[in-house]
Amino acid sequence: MDDFLFSDEPHDVAEPQEVGRWKVIIVDDEPEVHAVTKLALSDFEFQKKKLEFISAYSGEEAKKVIVEHADAAIVLLDVVMESDDAGLQVARFIRETAKNNHIRIILRTGQPGQAPERQVIVNYDINDYKSKTELTAQKLFTVVMSSLRSYRDILAIEQSRQGLEKIICASRDIFAAHSIEHFIQGVLQQLTSLLGTVDEAMYATSLVASNATTTQNSQLVVFTGRGEFEKSEGKPISEVLTEEQLNACQEALKQKGIVYKDNYLFAYCSSEYNHSSMLFVSGIPEFLTETQKHLIEIFAQNVQLAYENVQLQAEIEDTQQELVYRLSEALEQRSTETGNHVKRVSHICYALAKGYGLSNRECDLIRIAAPLHDVGKVGIPDAILNKPAKLDDGEWNVMKTHTDKGFQILKDSRREIVNAGAIIARDHHEKWDGSGYPKGKKGEEIHVFGRIVALADVYDALRHNRCYKPAWEISEVQAEISNQSGKHFDPKLVSIFNSIVDELEKILELYPDH
């Protein structure tokens, strides 16, 4: 079948059924050209995929088709149609207006002199130029095959570029995480982005150290999950995975790597500081490309490094929190107040800060630093600190110095938690109307951390027994705090307090006095 396709062409050619997945757009104002092209390429196959033909009979129609089928691989483009340069205008539209740099443009002309080859090649971003008289069936086959290979390679490069971009973004996001919960959510989201589709996901962790025997997969428990695993937190993976999935998990644990199955994968993650962990994702594409697998492997390596980073960050913050608690509890033991006061105030402040709209980092900061609010009491004599009767003016003036003493102890630190503690120690006895101490600040002159701790401290003190008073009922406390809106307390905080008071009462139940 090496006859010329476009000389002495038959006029009545049966059009075969269009099948396949490589889209080829034929642009020509002669219907016979469409028919003969489809016939010549009817049995064409590349990478087990056939061709799908889309026809356009004018330059204007071609522009619409190009936009509608942006995923087309090839356009066989006639030059002369409704005008002498209609095809050239379409070529320019494809590259400059549609911004489609992937599709391969094969220019075909029956009048080579009308659009000289050298001029067209120089001035237009086309990929091949053929005279219809020289384009035999074999040459058409060859040019389509070479164009599809180029299109395939361009897509592979583009996918690699996009994948690398996703890897960079994903790594940035997971390394920026400051808590295990946020880290895991970020990993699941970014892995979903890399794979394109995910039905379910689960992150399981074990109390077994990373250098322990990894075959004890029964000790892995679900930490968090999506889809079916959303309500499986705390359950052993043996209760939520099938036998086949458990075997795959065992394999990944032994290999300390990634195991791919038909529609799911297991990725091993570990930290020398804490747990061995496993990421499970189902609903992935049936056939992952080598590029996708390579990207997942790079991502998994970054996940491990990020996991180490987050674990270490969590360990540092947990250590700081414990030291703050222990220091504050040691100070509280000098008075008749119990150590759980500082824990309650810490969690109450966090809840109020969330309601106030502070950032996650600010909420964590006030939660950790709030127990330092009374650190200045270390300089107050026991006789004043534990006096059951009302303090006289002289004693009260001494007691008020604990705010400045606390500030002096904590100020000028390079650590944000200690600096936050200094601010809280200084401002937590200031009042919204300016009647507080030590500086008589008003309204928003008082740091928001100080305003939050002021309300939390008073709320907790009123709800518990003290050497100078019995505990108040919650209704009495709410009435008093509401009455102090705009006087002692920030009105916005009072409103938030009243809206979440049930949540705050649960905190008191979790940390009762000894």
Instruction: Give catalytic residue positions.
Output: 377
Using alpha carbons only, how large is the chain's radius of gyration in Å? 36
| HSE-up of residue 460 (Cα within 13 Å, Cβ side) | 29
- Geometric angle at alpha carbon 88, from 83 and 90, rounded to 5°: 90
Give the alpha-carbon dihedral of 411, 414, 416, 418, to 10 degrees. -40
| Pairing mode, strands 45-46 and 258-260 | unpaired
Q: What is the DSSP string of 205-220?
A: EEEEETTS-TT-GGG-
Q: In 3D, which of 349, 353, 355, 403 has the Cα closest to residue 379? A: 403
- Geometric angle at alpha carbon 379, from 375 and 383, rounded to 5°: 115
Q: Which residues pair with 281 in a beta bridge?
A: 201, 265
| HSE-up of residue 398 (Cα within 13 Å, Cβ side) | 14
Distances (CA, A) of 83 to 66, 88, 111, 355, 496: 19, 10, 13, 67, 72
d(CA 210, CA 216): 11
d(CA 175, CA 180): 11
CA 323, chain centre distance (Å)? 32
Q: Which residue has the tokens 């086309």?
A: 126
Number of H helices, E strands in the chain: 19, 11
Distances (CA, A) of 98 to 59, 90, 155, 438: 14, 10, 17, 67
Q: In 3D, which of 28, 29, 36, 43 has the Cα closest to residue 11? A: 36
